[in-house]
Structure 1
Amino acid sequence: MASQSDLVRLFELSLNPNNALAAEKSLRSFETQPGFATNLLQLVADTDVNMSVRLAASLFFKNFIRRSWTDDDGNYLFPEPDVIAVKSEIVPFMITLPSILRRQIGESISSIADSDFPERWPTLIDDLVARLDPNSPAVTNGVFDVAHSIFRRWRPLFRSNELFLEIKLVLDKFCVPFLSVFQYTDSQIDAAKSDPQTLPLLVENLLLIMEIYFDLNCQDIPEFFEDNIKTLMELVLKYFVYTNPILESDDENESGPLEQLKSSICDLLTLYAQRYSDVFEPLLEPFVQSTWNLLTSTGPQPKYDILISKAMHFLTIVSKIPSQASGIFSQESAINQIIELVILPNTMLRESDEELFEDDPIEFIRRDLEGADTDTRRRATSDLLTALREQHNEPVTKVVMQHINTFLQNYQNDNSNWKAKDSALYLFSACAVNSSNTVNGVSSINPLVDVYEFFTANVANDLVTDVSPIIRVDSIKYIYIFRNQLPKSILSQAIPVLSSFLASSNYVVFTYAAITIERLLSLKNPDNTATTLFSKSDIAPLSQDLLQHLFAIIERANTPEKLAENEYLMRCAMRVLVAAHSSISPYSLELLGHITKILEIVAKNPSNPRFTHFLFEALAAVVRFSNLSQSNLESALMPTLFSVLGEDIAELTPYVFQIIAQILEVSPNPQPSSHYRNLVDPLLAPTLWESRGNIPAISRLLADMVEKCPVLFHEPDTKLRLLGVFQKTIASKANDNYAFDLLTACVLSLELDTEQHLKQIAVIILQRLQNSRTEKFVILFSNFILFLAASDKPSLGFPYAYAFLEAVQPGLFTTLFTQFIIPACSRILQKAAKRTALIGLVEVTTRLPETTSINETQFAGAVEAILALLSSGIAQPSEELENVEVTENDLAFTSSYSRLVLATKPALIIRPDVVDVPSYVKQKLSSAGGRVSSLISTLSPELSAKLTAI
């Protein structure tokens, strides 16, 4: 058992990037030891330990709980005494911690509550309420922090009976104490208005009260809050307009406690205006007036940005309420005032924005990029302008265009006044766009403006002349935003220009060029949305130059963190590889050299999960499109991939296994090289299967190795270990699909002994079917039996499928076929699986032995299932995965599995010789004799007609 001194030493080592991976590996080796979780908690709470070590321990504890509290089926992975100890100790521990540590432990409580509250942790709310002490602001702060960490889980959830039962349980116990503490905190703030020591903590408590107010109302307005809305909203309004010099921040960039409080209030007001306007509208007027006062009196300092953006968002929602839209928001004078006093000032680029552009360009991009700037003033003004136009498009557009033309004229008169041009371009975009500017671009445009004419008159020249970097970015962004509205002829001319910007010395310019190129190459052909607008022939002449520029930019970083900072560059490289397709073959080894070099650097300290994801997608693209031989791929990639595996980097391991599997899959006749021989024992080792993030990738690789290199698994002991893996994965509701993938590979490629292996496998499957079946499992089981029946491999086919189940119990096949398999066919979704099921269903239906007990009704059900599958769309042998859409993956950087779209395993197409499936079905049914022919004659006239019409 690790002592506390051992843990302190390891966490100290983890603070040094050079030792971080080794230290974490040592720490994780203790995770299975009894008492480890509570030892970690005690270390976090130990005030004698350095704060940086305590923080590292709290982060480790949070991630430990997330990955190891329960398995995918909700079963505890902790020893029961540890589960009890953690749940009894974590709340009192957290309440005593400083806020920086409390945040991490709070997320741990939230993770535990996800699986345990309320059924397995019924005392949680009672414990919290019992610890509330209005006379101790510090204790109240701790209790409310814990409460908020639990309740905020409800915000993004879909409505369900279980969710509302959980919320009701909380409301019944928490509402009255909540209001009481709210009112008492208000009185304490009044009493401490001149106390610089006490007041900030009380306001911090009030902030948590506002957050919990939102939490408790996020799904529906509770009766308690509706009954007490006047009392509660009077308090909310009081603090929405509250001022106190003690709470004012001297830092112009960081929000102070009062700004944070008022921002939280704006969120609450927006919720009520959007969801509960029927009960909130009578109280709305003073909040609207206060918001207007706030917007017109608050300065431009960055510390107010979030508050201003949230206040404008509230005003945006209010403007959509019918009574408000037809009231004050319909008056021309009010519209003019909103545009001139709120929208225009908050559209202007500020000195702080320029500093961000120069000093922290990646942050500037993330704020400016679509969907990533929700708390910025500019995004809020754009949303408010859109809302005003929705109600009164013509007058609003007219006024805004007048201001735009004034800004453009000011720039034309004096080119050094580039901020005027910047404001004009931003305002035009906000005025032109009707729909949200999503990842797929703008789909709806204001009919009162001409996007193409504005581009030719005011933007196109900025792409080819010497302008300020921000105007250059604005011109690139115009193409990015309006790519769906500009003709292909313009976009085709733009791509080489954008490519030249990749050589720019300005970080934002070359990054926005990469972002825009990537999105242009993703555009769908309006005449055939199954293809992209730019074909391989369009991109092939440009692709090598584009990729050289992109890799050159990425590789010039001098640290792993800096190299992986800009995921937009790697995403662009990935998209160019997809668009160029097989034209990359002549220089694919050079590409692999770049990618492996980058991977080796990233592996030293993986820091950006999105960059990592697109790096591996790019690697998968080269493997897929390069047409390199297995030996070339292995010599170029395996040293780096095996080095990463040897470092046991949890974030990268699932990706590496997918790439290794892909190399096998793209090789026409793969050889069982030493690389794969060396993987057999590790893949069959139980420890590798303990990490949930590994299971999808290693099960795929193991199945591929069994299928492509069966000679590696011929030893009896190896087959038994394979069976052990199958038994482990099929027992899991989350992983049972991987068990059937492995089993499919085994029956296709290995000689399994009927008595020793197959009967045992059938028993394991049927026990799961009897004791713990799910709809998913029934479909998987049905798919597998129909796959066996459909296969044209001499050793498989219907007799094999029949014997597989009959060996367990005579008569079982017909029972399972009629009770489970036929009904499951209607719930199969994947096209290749439908094809397998259809062929298997025809084989079974037309070859049932005379002795089976299927009756006329059951036979008719089988025929109906065949006809339904036939009409539902099935995969053809020639179908391939092309024109893929690789989307951003915003997972937390953990060992969670992330599927590589470009390394997707081709679907198993059964019986590729059956090209015309309807003819095959018709021929098989019409030629069936004996008992099947008699059963066909008993079908209803309607069903017979459908069968004849095939």
Structure 2
Amino acid sequence: IDSPEMLGTKYRGGPLLELRSSALELIAMYMERYDDDMQPFAQQLMRTVWDIISAPGSANPASDDLVVSALGFFEASCRGPHRELLTQVMQPLCVDVVLPSLELTEDDVEAFEDDAAAYIQRDIEGSDVHTRRHSACKLVRELLAVFGDACSAVLNECIGNLVARGTWQGRDAAIVLVTAMGLKASSSAAMADSHAMAAAGSELTNYVDLASFYDQQISPELSAPGDSEIGTAVLKADALRFVATFRFHLPAASLAALLPHISQFLQHDNVVVQSYAAHTIQRILALPVAGAPSQLQLGDAEIGEYVPLLLERLCGRLGQDRRLNEYTVKCLSQVLRAAPAASQPYNGDITTVLATVLVELTKNPSNPLFSHYFFECVGYTLRLAGDSADQCMAIEALLWDPLLAILRDDVVELLPYALQVLALLLDLHPAGSASRSPAAPTSAYPNTSARTPEHFMGLYEPLCSDALFEAKGNVPAAIRLICAFLRKDPDQLNAAGHMPRTLGLAAKLL
């Protein structure tokens, strides 16, 4: 039965490995749900699973699913009356089963170098639920929950041994193990979702000395410049992920001081390191004030001196990237939100970069997250312009042609965003000679008293077309732009003969 056809190749498992993996998943489920009935078989099952996970071929990529299922079996064993059997094998379980599963596989290293999106998705976006590393971390947390200090003593010794190896693989595994021991919640969920991290923020364990590990292993990595060598790059990414994961437990002043060091990695050759740097900066700047989630801990007063450097490196990265990296543009959006006063002097330079990127984005709007945060950045630049007529006109001049191209070419992925930006531009358009009457009521929208510029008026007829409103996603943005026209000068629309069509459209939508 152990023929090559049944076992598969080194890289792809055959039917027999798939069968064994499925059987282990079922056994793990039975161990949890029918623990009393499974008690007589528990010891023999543990021996069998141990033999499977210790077999020479278990290190091959083809055995990934089998090893994940085996780790799940041991995790399930921790939760039932069979846990006492694990006390006899605590140290070998940690050393021979957990540690090898924490190390990066060949596929992981290859993805880190050549497929950044896949690596990032597994590592910080929470899609690593069926990997050796994720399963080993879950087993670590379960062992600590059951055996506490007895297990932590073994694991802390493992951390020391991993670091003492002097290899990047050992230090990488040590950082992952410390993260698993330090957080009660899943580190991947905490990285992927700020609300999950907030919930996890008060659930640190006391099984590992996080402060000492940070000082000895993480801080030096962030302070030293990086190179393109794979081991160095992996450790930089690990250090950045560590800061993002434990950001709630580092002083705000210390986090602010880290920003120049972290921002240097925006210029790194490796896309994963670039992305993690942007992600970590964004997470730091998004930290809310305790008890006031709408307020940020770090604003102009705290990070103003670092904003020019952050903007220079983020805009430089955006301008150089040939791929649409949502982490970079999301980070830029967060900088503009957190420190508007410090960002305002650079608004023109930021908009110039955004206009260049928009031209390319209209040709290939393949990343919806990038598009969303990109137009957030555009909105912030318009907010920074405020009542400055010169800045508003300069931004309009830069964005006008790309926005028209979106409308003309019917770039459906970007159309709602383009309509909203046009509405903002119209609201902010200088009032010119037709100033507001002193008796006129104050509007929440600035500069809405002048006649609508002719180049905007040319948009109104296609704006009211039935085709535009067939896509439900366009409706709120299109109405927003129509309202901007009506606020600006309804008499002008009426004189141009547009009011009957506008009223008919309103009746249809109602």
Q: 1:721 aligns with which of 496, 501, 508?
A: 501
| 1:343 aligned partner | 98
Q: 1:382 aligns with which of 120, 137, 143?
A: 137
Separation (CA, whole Å) in 1 of partners of 2:280 and 2:259: 9
1:786-837 deviations in Å (ceiling 9; x for gaps): xxxxxxxxxxxxxxxxxxxxxxxxxxxxxxxxxxxxxxxxxxxxxxxxxxxx
Structure 1 residues 176-195: aligned runs within 5 Å: none
| 2:487 aligned partner | 707
| 2:170 aligned partner | 420
1:243-299 deviations in Å (ceiling 9; x for gaps): 6532443362x555555666666667777777xx26x87469579646555433352
Long gaps (5+) in structure 2? 227-231, 430-445
User: How many residues end up aligned between the 2 structures?
Assistant: 471
SS of aligned partner of 2:127: coil
CA 1:245–1:599: 2 relative to 1, 3 Å: same
CA shift, 1:446, in A, is 0.8
CA 1:718–1:507: 2 relative to 1, 3 Å: closer
Matched, 1:525 2:289: yes
Matched, 1:676 2:459: no
CA shift, 1:612, in A, is 1.5
Contact 1:589 1:636 in 2 (8 A): no
Structure 1 residues 710-749: aligned runs within 5 Å: 710-715=490-495, 718-730=498-510
1:556-600 deviations in Å (ceiling 9; x for gaps): 24xxxx421x22111111111111224322221221111121111
| 1:432 aligned partner | 182
TM-score normalised according to structure 1 size = 0.46
CA 1:664–1:271: 2 relative to 1, 3 Å: farther
CA 1:371–1:666: 2 relative to 1, 3 Å: farther
Q: Over alpha carbons, which structure has the higher Rg?
A: 1
| 1:842 aligned partner | none
Q: 1:687 aligns with which of 437, 445, 467?
A: 467
CA 1:695–1:483: 2 relative to 1, 3 Å: same
Matched, 1:365 2:120: yes
Matched, 1:462 2:212: no
Residue identity in the other structure for 1:651: E
Separation (CA, whole Å) in 2 of partners of 1:678 and 1:461: 58
Structure 1 residues 503-652: aligned runs within 5 Å: 503-526=267-290, 528-557=292-321, 562-564=322-324, 566-627=325-386, 628-629=388-389, 630-652=392-414
SS of aligned partner of 1:484: helix
1:473-521 deviations in Å (ceiling 9; x for gaps): 2222221221111122321221111112222233332222111111101
| 1:868 aligned partner | none
Structure 1 residues 56-455: aligned runs within 5 Å: 245-250=4-9, 252=11, 254=12, 256=14, 277=33, 282=37, 289=46, 291-297=49-55, 298-313=57-72, 315-320=74-79, 324=80, 326-328=81-83, 331-411=86-166, 417-437=167-187, 438=190, 439-440=193-194, 441=197, 442-443=200-201, 444-455=203-214
1:122-141 deviations in Å (ceiling 9; x for gaps): xxxxxxxxxxxxxxxxxxxx
1:735-785 deviations in Å (ceiling 9; x for gaps): xxxxxxxxxxxxxxxxxxxxxxxxxxxxxxxxxxxxxxxxxxxxxxxxxxx
Residue identity in the other structure for 1:648: D
SS of aligned partner of 1:695: helix
Residue identity in the other structure for 1:563: R
Separation (CA, whole Å) in 2 of partners of 1:258 and 1:706: 69
SS of aligned partner of 1:531: strand
Contact 2:423 2:484 in 1 (8 A): yes
Residue identity in the other structure for 2:144: R
CA 1:642–1:534: 2 relative to 1, 3 Å: same
SS of aligned partner of 2:206: coil
TM-score normalised according to structure 2 size = 0.83
CA shift, 1:615, in A, is 1.2
CA shift, 1:608, in A, is 1.5
Identical aligned residues as a percent:
27
Q: 1:662 aligns with which of 424, 430, 444?
A: 424
| 2:265 aligned partner | 501
Higher relative contact order (CA 8 A, sep 6+): 2
Separation (CA, whole Å) in 2 of partners of 1:317 and 1:712: 72
Contact 2:10 2:61 in 1 (8 A): no
Long gaps (5+) in structure 1? 1-241, 412-416, 731-950
CA 1:587–1:459: 2 relative to 1, 3 Å: closer
Residue identity in the other structure for 1:547: L
CA shift, 1:655, in A, is 1.3
1:604-663 deviations in Å (ceiling 9; x for gaps): 122211112211111122122332434333222221111111111111111111222233
Structure 1 residues 708-857: aligned runs within 5 Å: 708-715=488-495, 718-730=498-510
| 1:193 aligned partner | none
SS of aligned partner of 1:502: helix
Contact 1:473 1:512 in 2 (8 A): yes
CA 1:268–1:620: 2 relative to 1, 3 Å: farther
